[in-house]
């Protein structure tokens, strides 16, 4: 679960916690909830505090860094998803971290096969960018970011003149 998946509506939660909406948006951006708010958030959503523990961390770092991964990491994550290999084997074969593989699995969930197939077909020229965007329900710029993140980027985005 990500902070964005947890927090469906920012304003009511912010009022409940007596923090600004901007603070909650920052938590969403960095995908971390300050630990001192965890119990109140768990009660607000009727969840077990321990289920939210992976989301704790400092909201002070508001820089989101995208680590570009080689294509092999996405393929390995897909293999873990379908049960061909374990996370440990994926880490060993790709050099990625446990957190990286688990993050891909947690974020993409049942969409992972669609993501992998879409990126492969787009790379091979079997589908166009518009079709890829429709399949993943993302914009073109988001699609460029996804392609770059998982090692499928054809090059820099061309600016229109």
Q: Report CA-CA distances (Å) from 66 to 63, 83, 119.
A: 10, 27, 18
CA distance 38 to 55: 9
pLDDT value of residue 54: 83
Could you tell me which CATH class the domain 3-55 is placed in?
mainly alpha
CB 1 within 8 A of CB 106: yes
pLDDT in tens, 45-64: 999 888 888 888 765 555 55
CB 41 within 8 A of CB 52: yes
pLDDT value of residue 110: 94
3-state secondary structure of 65: coil
Domain with CATH 1.10.260 in the chain: 3-55
pLDDT in tens, 114-145: 999 999 999 999 999 999 999 999 888 889 88
Q: Can you give the pTM of this predicted structure? A: 0.59
Max Cα-Cα span within the chain:
53
């Amino acid at each position: 679960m990500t902070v964005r998946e947890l927090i469906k509506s920012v304003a009511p939660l912010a009022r409940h916690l007596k923090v600004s909406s901007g603070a909650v948006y920052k938590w969403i951006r960095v995908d971390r909830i300050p630990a001192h708010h965890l119990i109140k958030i768990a009660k607000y959503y009727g969840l077990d505090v321990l289920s939210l523990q992976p989301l704790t961390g400092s909201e002070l770092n508001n820089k989101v860094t995208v680590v570009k991964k080689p294509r092999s990491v996405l393929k390995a994550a897909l293999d873990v998803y379908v049960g061909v290999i374990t996370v440990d084997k994926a880490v060993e074969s790709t050099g990625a971290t446990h957190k990286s593989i688990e993050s891909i699995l947690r974020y993409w969930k049942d969409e992972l096969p669609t993501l992998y197939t879409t990126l492969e077909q787009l790379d091979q020229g079997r589908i166009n960018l518009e079709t890829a965007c429709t399949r993943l329900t993302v914009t073109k710029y988001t699609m460029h970011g996804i392609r770059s993140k998982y090692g499928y980027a054809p090059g820099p985005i061309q600016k229109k003149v």
